[in-house]
Amino acid sequence: MSQGLQGPPPEDRPDPGAKRTPSGARIDPDNQPEPPRRRVILSALVKHEPGVLAKVAGLFSRRQFNIESLTVGPTAYERHARITLVIEETEPGIDQAQKQLEKLIPVISVTELDGDAVDRELALIKVDGDHPDAISAVADMYDGQAVDVSAETVTVEITGPEPRIDAAIETFERFGIREVVRTGTAALAAGPQETAPGHVAGLTDPTDT
């Protein structure tokens, strides 16, 4: 009777629990394509109290989520603030980020905004002032304006979606950019859709009920 090939028992073999295809072939994790990443905007309604931003930033740092931008500011309710985060993660990472945010005590609700959300960013771009007329013309192209003019520099304010800000900065490079500051994305759901469930302007503060 044939005894087959000699070898170690299954529990002693490398990666005995490795995943396999339906046909039984072992899947090598080192050769698997990286899961696709998706850029999303998360809007978190939080209690307006000291330390909230530090807690959110600390959570994302511990979980090693990469934050592309983070903004925070008051809402229509004095006791609430809104944090807007832009992250680029795999689908499981996005789901994990939202669930972890929802567990934080100061967080009231978290919403992933749809692609038609209204999102804006503000940038201040300081360039060499050798060609003020040309700088003003470029600012007009991007619905911007000069907010500070000196003998040596011109500072332009641009507001719009992130791609417009990126394009404006690239265009202003021809004049010699000295400094740039950007606020990061602020966003609300489009139309009558609520950005944060249960928080509608004009209604009672949801944390009072």
In degrees and rounded to multiples of 5, residue 141 shows phi and psi of -60, -35
DSSP state of 136: H
DSSP state of 205: P
Task: Report the sign of the C-alpha dihedral through residues 94, 96, 99, 105, in that order.
Answer: negative
DSSP assignment of 36-91: PEEEEEEEEEEE--TTHHHHHHHHHHHTT--EEEEEEEE-SSTTEEEEEEEEEEEH
- What pLDDT is recorded for position 200? 44
Break the chain into its structural domains and give their ranges.
Answer: 37-117, 118-187
**5-9, 35-39, 58-62 — which is least confidently predicted?**
5-9
Angle between helices 162-172 and 132-141 (to 10 degrees): 160
- Model pLDDT for residues 167-209, shown as the tens digit of each residue: 999 999 999 999 999 999 999 999 988 887 655 444 445 545 4
Structural contact between residues 148 and 124, judged by C-beta atoms closer than 8 angstroms: no
| pTM (2 d.p.) | 0.73
Measured from the Cβ of residue 37, the count of other Cβ atoms closer than 10 Å reads 14
Checking if the pLDDT of 164 tops 90, the result is yes
Measured from the Cβ of residue 9, the count of other Cβ atoms closer than 10 Å reads 7
Q: Are 37-117 and 118-187 equal in CATH topology? A: yes
DSSP assignment of 140-188: HHTT-EEEEE-SSEEEEEEEE-HHHHHHHHHHHGGG-EEEEEE---EEE
Which one of 2.40.10.480, 3.40.1280.30, 1.10.287.610, 3.30.70.1150 gives the CATH number of domain 118-187? 3.30.70.1150
Structural contact between residues 7 and 43, judged by C-beta atoms closer than 8 angstroms: no
**41-50, 54-63, 79-88, 191-200 — which is least confidently predicted?**
191-200
- Quote the longest CA-to-CA distance of the chain: 97
Checking if the pLDDT of 3 tops 80, the result is no
| Domain over 37-117 is classified CATH 3.30.70.260 | yes
- What pLDDT is recorded for position 51? 87
Structural contact between residues 55 and 106, judged by C-beta atoms closer than 8 angstroms: yes
